Structures are given as C-alpha cells and as structure tokens.
Structure 1
Amino acid sequence: MRAMKDMGFKGTILTYAKETVFDHKNQEEFGLGMNITPTNGASSTECPYITSWKQGTLDTVKLLGEEDQLAIFLAYRVTGAGPGVTCALADNSQTPQQFLDAVDKIVRDCKARSAKILIDAESQRFQAGILRIGLDLMRKNNRDGYAVGYNTYQAYLQSTPTSLASHLASALDDNFTLGLKVVRGAYLATDERCLIHDTKEETDDAYDSIAAGALQQQLLGFGGKDGRLFPSVNLLLATHNKYSVEKAQKLHLQRLKQRFSTTGALPMNKMLYKKRVAQGQLRMSPNETQTLCIFGCGNLGRAILTNLVTWNESPFSKIFAVVQTGPSRKKLNEAFGKQLSVLLANEGVAAVQESDVVILGIDPADVAAVLQEPGFRTALDEKLLISIAAGWPSDRIEDILYGSDASGQGQAHVLRALPNIAASVGQSFTALAVSAECSIPEQHIALAQDIFARVGQTARVPPSLMEATTAVAGSTPAMFAVLCDALIDASVAVGMPRQTAEAMVVQSMRGSAELLQSGGMSCATLRDAGTSPEGCTMAAIMVKEERGVRDAVCRALREAVTAARRMESVQHVNDNLPLNSLGYSVECTYRRRA
C-alpha cells in the first residue's frame, strides 16, 4: 500500500475478489478461489464458506487506513460467501443470518477506518438479491448525509433504469443517501445477451444519461418541475472510458461555477491516478485537491498568489512559492503565514516534484538556467507547466527541456500565458496560447483559465498572436499611465491641485473603460457623446490630431509589438521599420531563430 502511494496513487480500492460466476450458456456455476480451508475456531454450525469469506474480507479491511489519501474503499463480491448465500441470491430470498452478521462486522470495521464500501455487481442470476442486500446496507448506514455503502448499477443492462428508479424512491421515502456507483458491465460473455443493450453506443448513452441525470439532480422522474423531490445521492463514476468521465466532469464543474445544485461526484479514474497515463486518462475529480507551485514571485507571481490563497473553491490544497532571496521569503511568510509554503530557489526542484501544477514566473533572463537545473525536467514529469515569462513561447521551453525527443512520453504539458500588471487588482487580461492543433488536455487548459480568472479576464489566443498580445495587453497599462500622467501635469499647470487632478483623471479613465466594456459604447460613440460643436472637448481632440498623437500612439504600439517579436526572433509584415535621419522608414530584415 505504501509503495502504491509513493507511486502517486491518491486513492485506494481494495477488493476481496472471491466470487461465483453463473454461465448462462452452460447453466453452470464456477467459483474463483472457492477452495475453502475452514477457519480455526469455527463452530460446526457455521458455514465454512461464509466464515472464510468474512475473514478474507476483514483481512482486506486491515490493509486500508491511509489517512492522507483522498478516499479509500473496500469492495467485495457477495457470491464469494459460498453456495448457502448464492442459492438465496438466486431465489431472491433471505440470506443466512451468519452472512448478515458478517456484513455488519465488515461495515463496522470499515467505518472505523473511514472507508466506504462498494458492493460489486455480479452475474444476473444473483444480481437482484445483491441489489437488495446493498439497499438494506445503505438504508441502515447511509444516514448522516453521505454514503458509506454503494450499490453498483450496470449501464449495459436494459433493466437498470427500473432498478435505479426504485432505489431512488426508497432513498427518498426512507430518508437515506443512495450510494450510486455506475459501471458499464463486465459479464457480457456469461450473462443472457437479451438482457443487455444491443450496441456499445446504447450502453454509452445509458451510462452518460445516468451520470448527467444524477449531476443535474433530474433523473428517472426525480427532480425537475414535474418530478418527485430528488433524494440525497452520492455518485461514483467507475469507467475506463475517458470521454464519459470528461463529459461528467465538465457538467459538474459548470454547475458548481453557476452555483446550481449538483450531486457529490467522484470519478474513480481521477481518484486512482495521480498521473496522466499514455491513453490520456486525466485528473478528473473536483473533489481531489492538488498542489500548486508558483516558481518566481515577482509582481505578477505575487498578484496571482494573492488571489489564489483567498479562493474559496480552490482546487489546490497546498501552494508552494519559490523565491530568490531570504528577504522575499520573509515578506511572503509575513503576508500569508501558514496559507502557503515559501521556499528558496535551491529548494525549487523539490517543490516542483511535490506539485501537480507549476507556474513559471521568473525573470525571462533566468528561464534557461532554471529549466536546465539538475532534476527539474524529471520533476515536471506529466505535469502542467504554465509559463508567464515574456519572450518564452512554449516550443522554446520544450526545446530546452526535451530537445529532439518527440515521443511525448513523460513530458510536461507546457502552456504559455500572458497576464499583465493589472493582475494585482484583479483586472488583468490573460491570454493563453492555444492553437487548433493543441495537444494539451482540455482539463489542463480549463484549469489554467480558472486560475487566471481569479485575476481578471482570460481568452484563448493562437500562438502566432502572442507576441502582439505581449504589447496589446501587456504594454498598454504603462502607455495609459503615461497619458494619465500628461493629463495630470496639464491639469496642475492650469491651476488644479495635483491630488484632485489625479482623482479626476483616473476616475474618468475608469469610467470610460466601463462605458466601453459594459455600457454598450464603441470608441467612436463615446467620443461623439462627449463632444459638441465648438466645444472644449473637440478643441482638445483637434490639437491631438494636428500634433499627430493618433499616429504616434499607433506607431508606439507597433514598435512594442516589433520589440516583442525581436525577443522571440520572428518577423511580421506590419512590424515597424527603423527610421533614417530624416524620419523615414528604411528596409531591414531580421534573421529568424535557427
């Protein structure tokens, strides 16, 4: 168990897998692990099969109990308790009291370890009885607003909606939480084919409709305008189909974001796997908390950090901040206390190793050196690396980390983001470099958007426009500051106190931005609304036009874009060209980066 945890597993499901399978085609029962050795101390009146099954299951429970795991489950198969139980299940009659007492003991031991119980689905010859046992267990133990026990509902069975509707009604009428574990089904080779959907697509649709209905709290006549009240339900999605999990996850997050009611959901794929595997299985559960490392806490890094530590619905249970100097470390510790762990740069690789998401916020001049630090590449294995370093496109970072290795195995997902200085007041515009052919998983991109939504607006921008974005979104705050400074100085020159002038100019700029952003005005309509014939505003605008302010602003922005492209050794047809001594453009070429 410890070795598995060290490999990165965040949750555990241990199954005592002894079972009896009924082969419909041959009308035969056969068992896995059914050679019973009577347990020492068993009385002659006890069924040795039940005694052995009980002991084996309790021994499995003892392996549970990792306190720092996301979730731990015990799963068991009822038919492993032997023929006395399977006969009762097949007849849908009362199981032996010895078996019921064994189940009670198993439940008590699981509760003592804060573990939940999954009752696996089995052959259809026994399944009606198994569902009844599970329902009784839930009715007895799922009384505190959450599920201790879960029944398993097989989406490939045509009868599942009927069974599930009946159990939803029981949960509502008897006031307990229904533990709803959804699977596709695993007994296609031995069960009657007529009981199962004709095609995989029908099974997929059935699975997705149960998941969506549970998350929307509108399922099989429960919830919605005309349905019965939706009961308390805990949902566990167990599937190897990543598309179904992704669809359910997207719906769950959307409802949380819109503050709609939803069902507590835990996809097993997400719970079990810390790392993305080659087939593309990803972190999925909103219930799993992750660890974030902000590597470099300058102006932008600190702005992001400040907003993340106050995020009520943050997906991060732990945040590392990596800084260059002792004084910086002291300042962050004083500002945030125990809300994060502040480390010096020489501990940075260890912080990256412990994290799931890394924001690279260091000075652009230091990026190459940090990426080449011993252990840094390995520490990034399979993780999301978000770079906010100016002048560093994703492919350049990948070149340093991985060179010509195009396999993609074990590599980080590198996403470039460009916030601006207004992040410190939650008013940044952050561009994420996402192309139509982007191979970064959608969940990673959505997580990055959620992070930067904490500091303002976000947008996905083609990588080819990121250099222009550096100027258009990144340089304009300083350009606005110069303009405001000039207006304030002019106001002081005509007799206005500087403090008053500053308040007027800044508020006017803020109000203008609000009119343009939320007031439905374009720049042209705002200009026209604020001017009148022979008025003072028009007089000011004419001076600006006569002095070429518009042309100067246009050239200034183009020059900023040109400089940004030079940083990345790219060229564009509309880049500014150098001026000769007479002020006219002369032709020039720039060599692309090899």
Structure 2
Amino acid sequence: MFENKRIAVLGAGKLGEALIAGMLDAGIVTKKQFIATAAHKERIEAVKKKLGVETTLSNGEAVRKSHLVLLCVKPQTVEEVLRQIADDLTPHHVVISVAASVTTKFMENILTSPVPVIRTMPNTPCFIKKGMTAIAPGKHATADHVAQARKIFDAIGRTLILDEKHMDAVTGLSASGPAFVYIIIESFVEAGVKVGLPREAATQLAAQMMLGASSMVLETGEHPAKLKDTVTTPAGCTIDGILELEDGGLRVTLIKAVVRATHRARELVNG
C-alpha cells in the first residue's frame, strides 16, 4: 500500500512521533520513507536522533518530497500551514489531518487544487498503541485514500470510519474521554486508600480493573448493562455500590460531560 511512497509528517510532536514509531514498528514503511518537520531545530534534531528519519524545518520541502501528508499541527495553525504548502500540493497527494474541530471543507477551501483531504480524531492512548481514531473522508478522498489512513492509524490502536457530521461528538467522547476516565480511576484509587489499601496497590487494582472491564466490552460484544448484571448478585456488595452511584448522579454527570465537550468542539468549528 505504501510501497515507493514517501510520507511527510508536518509537526512531529508527540502524536507525529507516535505515528512514525507505530508505522515503523508495524513494518508497513521504512525510515527512508519519512520526512518530518517541526517549528524548532531542537525538536527536529530530537526526532532525527530518536527515530532515524529525514527531517527539515521546511514544510514545503517535506511536501514536495512526499506523496502523503500527515498534518499533525495544532488546530490554530492548520490554516497557516496549509497556506504555506498549498502551491506544493497536487491532486496526487493525500492530506490526513489530526486537528480537532477543523473540517475537511475548511481545509479544501484553502487548497488551490482538488487535493484529497481526510479528517481524523485520535486520542492520547495512541501514544502506547492503544488509541481510538475516527476517520472521516473529504469530498475528494477515495476508498483507497481512506484505506491508507486506516492502515496508518491501525498501527497505533483501533480505527472507525464515520461520516464527518459525527466528528465533534467523537471529540467530546473519545478524544476528551481519557481525561474523564483518569478522574474516575483517581477516584477509585482514593476510595481504595480510604478503605485501607496501600496507594500503589489501589492504583494497580483500579487501572487494571478499568482495562479489564473495557476489554470485556470490546472482546465479548456484550452490552455493558448485561456485563454489569453478571457482577451484580442479589443483596450483594456490588448492588449497594451501584445504588450510591445512581444516587450521586454519576451516569447523568458523565453524559453531561460528553455533551458539554461536544458542544465546545462545535463552538470551535463555528469560530
């Protein structure tokens, strides 16, 4: 799929670095196929030393040497970078953006030719190859372009193809969600300490419990409510705990958190 193709990673920060490392580890590309950029020389030198890929401070140079462009810059700099490289891009390129709340239409309108654009929304667990990335193609992107994007992000976790109208909801749930989960894990740890567990033990128990429960949902395909019921015995410990959760409004609070984060993502889209 990527044979004889070069990939430009514009903005090789943590996510860009994770994508390069993930693809290299998966064996789908070689180091010689990459050219990475960053805004500062120190960062470029660090990426080159760590990953052994070609680097440059020039986004235009990277694009001219590539076939596929991973746009890994911050949302507020997407327009500036696209204007820098617009004349270097052709319809034979593919641009894949990871910027939250930046639509394919916005990017397509900046470009001077009908360049295929794909919008993605990964999350931070991709740094350890446990990420979840939603992928939405623009109007010029083909099924082959989408397959390329999926292959790239499969190297750092799981992927899901969605209509772009869902991408702000993905931001609110999947991209913001890890922060919400960390608060939940932290609360479990504090609860463990409260009932007498050493903090380190409580942390391991809470984190592994969350990992295991999530894996049960993904691997069994069962509805979370059904899995919950398998743990909940009549007059047992778990149902008493669930009663406290319901009384405290945890379910509604989590729903409202995702809804509010989604609304904020939509506000950013609309300026």
Smaller-chain TM-score bracket: over 0.9
Q: CA deviation at 1:315?
A: 7.8
Kindly report which structure 2 residues correspond to 1:36-435, keeping only aligned pairs within 5 A, or say none.
286=1, 288-314=3-29, 317-337=32-52, 340-344=53-57, 347-373=58-84, 376-382=85-91, 383-402=93-112, 410-434=113-137
> Which amino acid letter does the alignment assign opposite residue 501 of structure 1?
A
| Matches of 2:70 and 2:17, distance apart in 1 | 11
Distance (whole Å) between structure 2 residues aligned to residue 539 and residue 415 of structure 1: 47
User: Structure 2: which amino acid aligns with 1:325?
Assistant: H
Paired amino acid for 1:327: E
- In the alignment, residue 314 of structure 1 is paired with which amino acid? V
Contact 1:299 1:421 (C-alpha < 8 Å) held by counterparts: no
SS in 2 for 1:518: helix
Q: Which residue of 2 aligns with 1:515?
A: 216
Report 1:453-532 matches (<5 A). 453-532=154-233
State the distance in 1 between where 2:247 and 2:103 align. 40
Q: Does the alignment pair 1:442 with 2:157?
A: no
1:536 corresponds to: 237
Displacement of 1:360 after TM fit? 0.4
Shift of residue 353 of structure 1? Answer: 0.9
The correspondence of residues 20-39 of structure 1 with structure 2, limited to 5 A, is none
* 1:331/1:559 CA distance change after superposition, 3 Å: same
Q: Distance in 1 between matches of 2:14 and 2:49?
A: 17
Query: Closer, same or farther in 2 for the Cα pair 1:525/1:334, shift >3 Å?
Result: same
Q: Provide, for residues 48-94 of structure 1, a one-character-per-residue CA deviation record: whole Å limited to 9, x for no partner.
A: xxxxxxxxxxxxxxxxxxxxxxxxxxxxxxxxxxxxxxxxxxxxxxx
User: Which protein, 1 or 2, shows the higher relative CO under an 8 Å CA cutoff with sep ≥ 6?
Assistant: 2
Q: Deviations over 1:207-265 (max 9, x none)?
A: xxxxxxxxxxxxxxxxxxxxxxxxxxxxxxxxxxxxxxxxxxxxxxxxxxxxxxxxxxx
Amino acid at match of 1:491: G
SS at match of 2:56: strand
- Measured in 1, the distance between the counterparts of 2:170 and 2:30 equals 28
SS of 1:321's partner is: strand
| Larger helix percent | 2
Letter in structure 2 aligned against 1:546:
D
Cα offsets for 1:90-129 (capped at 9, x unmatched): xxxxxxxxxxxxxxxxxxxxxxxxxxxxxxxxxxxxxxxx
1:236 matched to which residue of 2?
none
Larger radius of gyration: 1
- Measure how far apart 1:319 and its partner are: 0.1
State TM-score, norm by structure 1.
Answer: 0.44
- 1:387 maps to a residue whose letter is S
What amino acid maps onto 1:386 in structure 2? Answer: I
- CA-atom RMSD, angstroms? 1.8
- Per the alignment, do residues 315 and 415 of structure 1 end up closer, same or farther by CA in structure 2, a change over 3 Å counting? farther
- Relative to structure 1, the CA distance from residue 529 to residue 349 in structure 2 (aligned partners, 3 Å threshold; closer, same or farther) is same
Aligned partner (choices 538, 549, 552) of residue 250 of structure 2: 549
Which blocks of at least 5 consecutive residues in structure 1 are unaligned?
1-285, 403-409, 570-592
**Distance change in 2, residues 1:318/1:396 (3 Å):** same
For 2:132 and 2:237, the matched residues in 1 are separated by 33
Q: CA-to-partner distance for each residue in 1:570-594, whole Å, 9 max, x for gaps?
A: xxxxxxxxxxxxxxxxxxxxxxx7x
Give the number of equivalent residue pairs.
270
Q: 1:460 to 1:380 in 2, by over 3 A?
A: same
Q: Supply the AA of the counterpart residue of 2:171.
A: T
Matched residue type, 1:333: K
How far is the alpha carbon of 1:423 from its aligned partner? Answer: 1.0
Q: Does 1:565 align with 2:269?
A: no
Runs of 4+ in 1 over 3 A off after TM superposition: none
Stretches of structure 2 that go unaligned for 5 or more consecutive residues are none
Q: How much has 1:548 moved relative to structure 2?
A: 1.0
Partner SS for 1:372: helix
How far apart in 1 are the matches of 2:71 and 2:207? Answer: 32
Tell me the SS of whatever aligns to 1:293.
strand
Query: Do the aligned partners of 1:434 and 1:463 also contact (CA within 8 Å) in 2?
Result: yes
TM-score when normalising by structure 2 = 0.94
- Secondary structure at the counterpart of residue 328 of structure 1: helix
Query: SS state of the match for residue 457, structure 1?
Result: strand
**Distance apart, 1:475 and its partner CA:** 1.1
